[in-house]
Chain A
Amino acid sequence: MYLGGLVRKEFGRIRSDKRTLLLLFVIPIILIVVFGLTTGVGITKFFSSAIITCDDMPTYDDFPNNSSKYDDTFISIMQYNTSSWDLYRYYNATNSEEFDNAYHNCYNFLKNGDIHIIIILPANFSESVENKISPVLIYYIDGSDLAAITAIEVAIQEPIALFRAETDMIANFTMMVPYLEFDVPFWESAILNYAIPLILPIIILGTTINLTSLSIVAEGPLPRMLVTPTAKREIILSKLIANSVIMMLQSTEIFIMISFFGLYSLGSLFYFFLVLLMIGFCGICIGLFISTLSPTEQSANQMYLIMFIMIILFSGSVLPLNADLQGVQIFINLLPLSNAVPLITDITLKGLFPNLENLFWLNLSSLIYIILAYIIYMFKKLEV
């Protein structure tokens, strides 16, 4: 009965701040609508290239007959026929001076990020093709883009395969044919659905942590309440209950909105909704933890931001982390995003039952944050 009164008071406090409430429900709608409209296909990496052909230069030794028959074929394939390449510029170098100038220009394109690769067709390119000797392609890539280094080597196989087919060099040729399992079908919004496992938890955590991170630190009459028979644990419990109800409403709204805006889910929508609630609950526990720890509103805001940055950076979903290191895995598991992303991926794209280990860690982390919040609040000195 007494707790009921406190919860009602808490609701009254939240309701008095109508703008925050409005924002809590409007931000997810705006973001889901915006990303729902982002319907492009996002998984194919698109590379931009510049080609320098030296094929017109004379060749000697093994190649008595000079030829420059095939460089145009390769350039044409790069320009028109490939699905993952775009030809930014090409240069025909007939002597070393022209080559130096062309390379200098291409180097600057690479440096400015206009292209990902410089491909050089050597002087004996056409001769090698004609004589059925392994032709050589030389390329320079932007080594600073870690993800692109190996991806380019694989992607270059596409124009090479097309070139081999064009020049009838199909003997002794081995290649892979990729089939994507658990991918988003082409008629669904690919970007939205690949982004859902990351973006939805970020929105829910961002808003729920913000909702609760000021709930204790900003409340003026809190010390006066302690003069009454109200216990600290009742105060914190009432805040947890009231904010959880708001979070449930927000999660329901997100669930409905995302279903309307092209959610592709192979798995149970009930589990999906359940996971959203668990993520939201974890956000509330983190928010309360921040609120009890912070002495002022400004420091609560500051802590909210730092916590939010750490949740994103150390989730393992945005940056690759070395989880083999002792302690790192536990640290990662205690951050909600590292469990939320695989849980949603498993349900939506694989149609699986939520992974029990991820569920365990997500709920354990909520428990740890709320226990810490309670302990800190118990020892916190408030001037009555």
Chain B
Amino acid sequence: MFYRLSGIRHTRYAAARQLWPIPADRWQVGVLLALACLAPVLFSPFYLLSYLLPWLIFTAAALSLTLLMGIAGQLHFGFAAVMAIGAYSGIHLVRAGLPFELALLGAGLVAALIGTVFGAAALRVKGLYLVMATLAMQYLVDWVIINVPVISGGAQATLQAPSTTFLFVPLATGVARYYVALLWVLFVTLLLLNIKRSAVGRALVAVRDKDYAAAVIGIHVVRFKLVAFFTSSFLGGVTGAVLAFCYYQAVTPEQFTFNVSVQLVAMVLVGGLGSVIGAYLGAAFVLLVPIVLTNLVVLLNDLGWLNASTNLLSHIPLMIYGVLIIGFLLLEPLGLGKIYDNIRKYLLVWPFRHSDL
């Protein structure tokens, strides 16, 4: 009923293989896209720049990481460092006189190169050992940024993002920055959706599930692991630059610490490994739920329903947040993306109970 399937016949392969073969899905995507495009009109600048903008950028980061962790199965606990490389490279390249568009590419390339070097560890180690290797990357990059003044921007260790333009539009207004972020996250989303249904994607999944088996069926494991690290670090690097130019406007090493890496991993896990919609939901959960909870607790306190010290009031949101994470993962270990999927599958055959899809 909600996802009407009867009467939908694909008469060409192209139609059957399109991204969203069911019209109901296409409608939803269309509505969401329209909402995203009209957001500057629909939402006040406050909500646009404090919630939507960071959500989109961190979604792009979570998507980049889920390509590596979810699809290719390579754990990465230093992704904030990859973004830091992108952010710093982007700013330095624009300062050196490169146009912003090229600087984004450059930021991605630098991050991809350094990320792949550390990713090379993945050729030898797996699982928790790979986590250690990527952790090393996090701390090394942090250390280099802090200790090399040419990178960090001198004694103050702050780099201001220079004003610049994207496709001839100056990035001076919040709306312009929002659209750049939107364009980027749409690009990453489409890229990931397409990777997942391409030969490369299937090869990465094979490597994830069992690399020996993948080698046996003729997949060049070394190459695909490096491809995964390169692509994911490239996307992460560009996302870092977008984050620096469109959101923070000034970068300091503290914006890319280990905590941020953990947050990114949490986004991917809470959203669901390898799930594209999960990255959106996970980023929203990890990024926005603490803010919303904080404001909710403050509101309750204003109404006089809560009476506690400021210290306790600040920690209550953290407790609820923790309980929520545990709750969601108990309810559905495969993440928020899977919860969405379950609901969709239920509605697909509603009022019947089972689907063969």
The answer to whether A and B come from one shared complex is no
Q: Report which B residues bind A (CB closer than 8 A).
A: none
Q: Report which A residues bind B (CB closer than 8 A).
A: none
